[in-house]
Amino acid sequence: MGAELGNSQREHWKDVYDRTPHMYGADPSDAARHALEVFTARGAQEVLELGAGHGRDALWLAARGLRVHAADFSATALEQLARSADAQDVADRVRAHLHDARTPLPLADASVDGVFAHMLLCMALSTDQIHALIGEIGRVLRPGGALVYTVRHTGDAHYGTGTSHGDDIFEHGGFAVHFFDRDLVGDLAGGWDLVEVAPFEEGELPRRLWRVTQTRPARR
C-alpha cells in the first residue's frame, strides 16, 4: 500500500484519539478474553499486542499477570495507555512501543510467547505488507507460541462500498479497511498450525469479523 494512504491513516487515528480519548472504554474486547484463554493454556508469560491503541486490552492482560509489549503507531494513544497503566498500577508489566506495522517489529527473535492483534491486520495494509507482518510475528514468537488476530472479512456490509483503494481496501468515514477473504487467511497460515477461524460480530452495522488462532510449530 502506498505510503500516502498509510501516512494519512496515521494522522487520522491521531486526530481520533485527540478528539475522543479512551474511545473504546476500559472493558476488554471479547477477542482479548479469548486470547487470554489461548495464552494461559499454552503457559505464556510475555506477549505482544499490535494496534494496542489506548490500551484497554493490553492493560487488562497485564492485570492478569502477563508481561505485555503494547505497540501502536499513534503516540497520542500510547500516552493515554501509559497514564492508565500508572493509574492501574500495572506500569511495571507494560512496555509501550511506537511502531508502524509496515516496518519490522522492535523485538528480538523468539522473544514473546504470544501475539494478539484485534483488527490491526485489516487496516490500511497491502496484502504484501500483511504477509511481511505475519513473517515478523513468526520471527518474534517462540516455538509453540500463539497468534490470535481478528479481521473484518468480505462478508461485511461495508465490503465493496465507500472509497476503493484497491487490494480489497475500502474507506468509510476516514477509516480504511482491508477486508479479508478465506484464501488470504489460509495463505497467512502457511508454515503455521491453523487452530481456528471463528466468525463473530461486533459493534454497530454490525461489523462481521473472523477470529483467527494459529500457532508456531514447536521445535522437535
The Cα 146–Cα 17 span in angstroms is 29
Asked whether residue 164 is domain-assigned, the answer is: yes
Q: Which residues contact 168 (CB under 8 A, 6 or more apart)?
A: 127, 154, 159, 178, 179, 180, 181
Asked whether residue 51 is domain-assigned, the answer is: yes
Asked whether residue 7 is domain-assigned, the answer is: yes
Asked if residue 199 lies in contact with residue 215, where contact means CB atoms within 8 angstroms, the answer is no
Q: Encode the chain (220 residues) as per-residue pLDDT tens digits.
A: 467 887 787 676 667 676 776 656 679 999 999 999 999 999 999 999 999 999 999 999 999 999 999 999 999 899 999 999 999 999 999 999 999 999 999 999 999 999 999 999 999 999 999 999 999 999 999 999 999 999 999 999 999 999 999 999 999 988 899 999 999 999 999 999 999 999 999 998 899 999 999 999 987 4
Asked whether residue 92 is domain-assigned, the answer is: yes
Instruction: Please tell me the pTM assigned to this model.
Output: 0.92
Asked whether residue 47 is domain-assigned, the answer is: yes
Asked if residue 148 lies in contact with residue 118, where contact means CB atoms within 8 angstroms, the answer is no
Asked whether residue 220 is domain-assigned, the answer is: no
The Cα 213–Cα 150 span in angstroms is 9
Asked whether residue 181 is domain-assigned, the answer is: yes
Residue-range definition of the domain harbouring residue 98: 3-215
The Cα 109–Cα 169 span in angstroms is 31
Q: What is the CATH number of the domain that holds 164?
A: 3.40.50.150
How many structural domains comprise the chain? 1
